[in-house]
Structure formats: structure tokens, C-alpha cells
């Protein structure tokens, strides 16, 4: 374990190792058990989250025996399909990659395959038992490997740490998907690629026999791809349905802030103005008679409605303020 890689998931401060604990300056303590740091805030887990951890801890022993079932039902080759998912990250050998909800590492092995000795793969899961299976699979991996127990809602990493992030199969059970997506973007560098996916039956298949059988057998297929929950930094967003259109994959690039835009470009034509003046410059409405007069006056002036209105309102406002001496 490399303690310098981690940050306190509560306050994002750096951590020092004190015996079998990572501790931040504010005194938040995170145990290290059997070489795995554990960042799950036990005291704030609700009953549902405890049950989820128990469920996955208990599933760990058999997970790898049954995991390909979801792919076989859809007549897909799991290994080939998962490799295609990972290809969307377009990894470079020295990339630093985070996988969230890594489970027993069925995608982690493909991610590790794309990295070289200068690369880093951090794999995180809520379930220690799942992660221990993953550790076995990554024992001979080429890149440096860091494994930690943690929650997608509060990642134990500094802003801008990773070049790529992958999470498949966990989102539908995350308690706060919007928060998890915000955290994913926070820990990624600008330009990083993020790939997320989980069960979601293509809406066009809901009334088919194929769809009805899947929906009858698992409510998870009713989930919709969380496009509306993506942070504003998401760029070049692509959505596809995969594995017989029973799962969605969203991949996107991390940008900075909202998309760049020039809202001050003058719009040609009688109405005139810019997108900014049209949005920010709205006034209370006028009567239909005043509107008709304003249109005539605007036409006579030869100006766009925006410029005519701007001049008229400004002149009237300045005059009103001058009259009572408050214009300065
Ligand atoms: C269905 S398994 C998928 C595992 C793996 N990604 C795969 O495709 O085989 C879901 C995984 O999500 C993990 N998980 C569930 N909620 C989580 C959370 N809030 N934060 C991190 N991992 C979580 C579970 O422990 C479990 O290992």
C-alpha cells in the first residue's frame, strides 16, 4: 500500500500512517486491515448499505462461478465483451486508472493488461471479500496495483489524480448516483476518459417478449442510463446499449466547468440582441398596444428590437434617476 496516494474521504486532507491506521490532520481514522485500507465510514452506513455489504461479502465466494451468466443469456462472450468495454478508455501504458465497484476484478484484469510497469491501477469496492478475490487475480499484474475498500460516494483520492476511470455493474445499487458521478469527475484530470455502465433494458424492448422476460426476472433492468445526473464537466458524451441491449454504457471525457460558449454574439435580424441579453435582460411585459407602438418605432429607427429597447429603457431609466438625483 502507498499511503501517499490516498486522501481522507471526509476532508480530502493527506493521510499519515499510524500503525494499522491512516489518519488525517483532523483526526479522521481509516483502518488498514490485511494490507487493505478501509475508507467506508461505518458510523454513517444505513441499514440498506450494511445489507448490501453483507450481500456482496457473502456472494464473493461464488461470484466468479456465475458472473458470465448475464452474458451467456444474451449469447455474448463475456471476456470479449468486457475487453471491448475497457477499450473505450483508450488507455496509455503509463496511465493512472481508478476502477470503482471492481468486484472480483473481472474488468480489472483487462485494465491491467493495457497498462505497463509505469502505470497504476487503483481498484476500489465496498466489499472487502470481493476485493480479496480481485487481489488474487492482480497478483502478477504489470502496473502498480492499489486496492482499497471504499464507497463510490466519497472517494479517498485527491482532485485530478486519474487519467481514466471505469465502473461497470455497481451504479444501479449506489445510494447516490449523482454524488458518485461528481466524485468520479473530481478525482479525474481534465481530459480523462470515464466509462460507466450497468443494467438497463433498451426502452424499445420493454414490450417485447425478450424484454418482458428480463424485466420479470430482475427489476434492475428497469433502470435508465443516468445521463441527466452527469456533471456539467462531461464532454463528448456517448451512450450505447450493449449485451443484447440489456445494459447501458456511457463514456465521456472530463472537461473543465460548463461547456465553453460565446453568448455575446450579436444575432442578426429585427429582434437582435444576444443569447445573454435575451436571457438576462428580460423585463416585465408591456400591454399589447405598447408592444404594437414599440414595433412601429423600432421599424422606423432601423435598429434591431434589442438595440432600440436598450436605448429607450436606458434613457428612460437615466432620466427618472436624474429627476430625483439618484443617477450617480
Ligand atoms: C454486480 S457487482 C459488479 C462487480 C464487477 N464490476 C463486475 O462487473 O463483475 C457490484 C459491485 O459493486 C460493489 N458496490 C456496491 N455498492 C457500492 C458502492 N457504493 N461503492 C463501491 N462499490 C459498491 C459491490 O460490492 C459489488 O462488488
Give the sign of the dihedral formed by CA 9, CA 13, CA 17, CA 21. negative
> Ligand 1 centre and the CA of 170: distance in Å?
4
Q: Is 103 in the pocket of ligand 1 (CB under 6 A)?
A: yes
Distance in Å, CA 238 to ligand 1 centroid: 23
Domain-embedded: residue 46: yes
The residue whose CB lies within 8 Å of the most ligand 1 atoms, and thus the one to mutate among 66, 170, 223, is 170
pLDDT at 324: 74
Cell for 205? 424492448
What cell was used for 212? 418482458
Residue 322 makes CB contacts below 8 A (sequence gap 6+) with none
Q: Is residue 250 domain-resident?
A: yes
pLDDT in tens, 265-322: 999 999 999 999 999 988 889 999 999 999 999 999 999 999 999 999 999 999 999 9
C-alpha cell read off for 175: 445510494
CA dihedral 112, 113, 117, 118 (to 10 degrees): -70
Contact 52 CB / ligand 1 (< 6 Å): yes
According to the model, what pLDDT value does residue 316 have? 95
Q: pLDDT digits over 84-95, tens only?
A: 999 999 999 999
Report the separation in Å between the CA atom of 265 and the middle of ligand 1, taken as the mean of its atom positions.
47
Does residue 153 sit in the same domain as residue 49?
yes
Q: Does ligand 1 have an atom closer than 6 angstroms to the CB of 125? A: yes
What is the average pLDDT score of the chain?
95
pLDDT in tens, 12-68: 999 999 889 999 999 999 999 999 999 998 877 888 889 989 999 999 999 999 999
Cβ(151) to ligand 1 under 6 A?
A: yes
Question: Does a structural domain hold residue 265?
Answer: no
Q: What is the Cα–Cα distance from 102 to 87, expressed in whole angstroms?
A: 16
For 130-164, write each residue's pLDDT tens digit.
999 999 999 999 999 999 999 999 999 999 999 99
Q: 244 with 304, same domain? A: no
Percent of the chain with pLDDT over 90: 93
Residues facing 242 on adjacent strands? 247
**Atom 26 in ligand 1: which residue has the minimum CA distance?**
103
Given a cut of 70, is residue 240 above it in pLDDT? yes
Cell of 89: 478508455
Give me the pLDDT at residue 41, please: 83
Cβ-contact 197, 224 below 8 angstroms = no
User: For position 185, what pLDDT does the model report?
Assistant: 98
* Mean pLDDT of all residues in 165-191: 97
Asked if 86 and 165 sit in the same domain, the reply is yes
Give the DSSP H or E segment for 104.
none
Query: Are 244 and 300 members of one domain?
Result: no
Q: By CB neighbour count within 10 A (0-12 exposed, 13-18 middle, 19+ buried), where does 27 fall?
A: exposed
pLDDT at 168 over 60: yes
C-alpha of 176 from chain center: 11
247 Cβ below 6 A of ligand 1: no
Nearest 5°: CA angle at 243, between 238 and 249?
Answer: 25
Q: How many CB atoms neighbour CB 276 within 10 A?
A: 13
pLDDT at 327 over 70: no
Q: How many Å apart are CA 58 and CA 127, to the nearest integer?
A: 9
Probe target for ligand 1 pocket from 103, 177, 178, 223, with the most ligand atoms within 8 Å of CB: 103
**Containing domain of residue 232, as a range?**
3-254
Q: How far apart are the first and last CA of the chain?
A: 64
Query: 51 and 141 share a domain?
Result: yes
Q: 157 pairs with which residues across the strands? A: 6
Q: Is the CB–ligand 1 distance for residue 100 below 6 Å? A: yes
Rounded average pLDDT over 247-259: 98
Position 259 pLDDT exceeds 60: yes
Which whole number is the average pLDDT over 248-276? Answer: 97
Q: Which of 64, 169, 187, 221 to mutate to test the pocket of ligand 1 (most atoms within 8 A of CB)?
A: 169
Mean pLDDT in residue range 112-130: 97
Contact 142, 30 (CB under 8 A): no
Domain count, the chain: 2
Query: Does residue 126 belong to any structural domain of this protein?
Result: yes
Q: Identify which of 126, 166, 179, 195 to mutate to test ligand 1's pocket (most ligand atoms within 8 A of the CB).
A: 126
Predicted pLDDT of residue 328: 56
Do 164 and 118 reside in the same domain of the chain? Answer: yes
Please check whether residue 266 lies inside any domain of the structure: no
Are both 201 and 287 inside the same structural domain?
no
Which CATH number fits the domain that encloses residue 49? 3.40.50.150
Cα of 125 vs centre of ligand 1, distance in Å, is 6
Whether residues 242 and 281 share a domain: the answer is no
Amino acid at each position: 500500500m502507498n499511503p501517499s496516494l490516498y486522501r481522507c474521504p471526509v476532508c480530502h486532507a493527506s493521510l499519515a500512517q499510524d500503525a494499522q491506521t491512516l489518519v488525517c490532520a483532523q483526526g479522521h481514522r481509516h483502518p488498514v486491515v490485511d494490507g487493505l485500507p478501509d475508507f467506508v465510514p461505518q458510523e454513517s452506513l444505513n441499514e440498506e448499505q450494511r445489507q448490501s455489504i453483507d450481500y456482496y461479502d457473502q456472494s464473493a465466494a461464488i461470484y466468479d462461478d456465475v458472473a458470465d451468466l448475464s452474458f451467456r443469456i444474451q449469447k455474448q462472450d463475456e471476456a470479449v465483451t468486457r475487453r471491448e468495454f475497457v477499450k473505450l478508455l483508450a488507455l496509455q501504458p503509463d496511465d493512472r486508472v481508478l476502477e470503482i465497484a471492481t468486484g472480483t476484478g473481472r474488468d480489472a484484469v483487462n485494465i491491467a493488461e493495457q497498462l505497463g510497469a509505469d502505470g497504476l491501477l487503483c481498484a476500489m469496492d465496498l466489499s472487502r471479500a470481493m476485493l480479496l478475490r480481485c487481489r488474487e487475480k492482480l497478483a502478477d499484474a504489470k502496473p502498480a496495483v492499489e486496492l482499497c475498500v471504499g464507497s463510490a460516494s466519497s472517494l479517498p483520492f485527491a482532485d485530478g489524480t486519474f487519467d481514466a476511470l471505469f465502473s461497470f455493474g455497481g451504479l444501479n445499487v449506489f445510494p447516490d448516483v449523482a454524488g458518485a458521478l461528481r466524485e468520479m469527475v473530481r478525482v479525474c484530470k481534465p481530459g480523462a476518459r470515464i466509462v460507466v455502465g450497468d443494467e438497463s433494458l433498451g426502452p424499445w424492448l420493454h414490450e417485447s417478449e425478450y424484454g418482458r422476460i428480463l424485466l420479470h426476472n430482475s427489476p434492475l433492468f428497469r433502470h435508465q442510463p443516468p445521463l441527466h445526473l452527469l456533471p456539467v464537466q462531461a464532454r463528448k458524451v456517448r451512450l450505447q446499449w450493449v449485451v443484447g441491449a440489456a445494459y447501458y454504457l456511457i463514456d465521456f471525457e472530463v472537461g473543465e466547468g460548463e461547456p465553453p460558449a460565446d453568448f455575446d454574439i450579436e444575432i442578426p435580424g429585427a429582434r437582435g440582441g444576444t443569447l445573454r441579453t435575451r436571457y438576462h435582460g428580460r423585463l416585465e411585459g408591456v400591454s399589447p398596444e405598447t408592444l404594437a407602438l414599440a414595433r412601429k418605432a423600432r421599424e422606423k429607427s432601423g435598429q434591431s428590437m434589442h438595440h432600440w429597447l436598450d436605448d429607450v429603457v436606458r434613457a428612460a431609466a437615466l432620466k427618472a434617476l436624474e429627476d430625483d438625483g439618484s443617477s450617480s
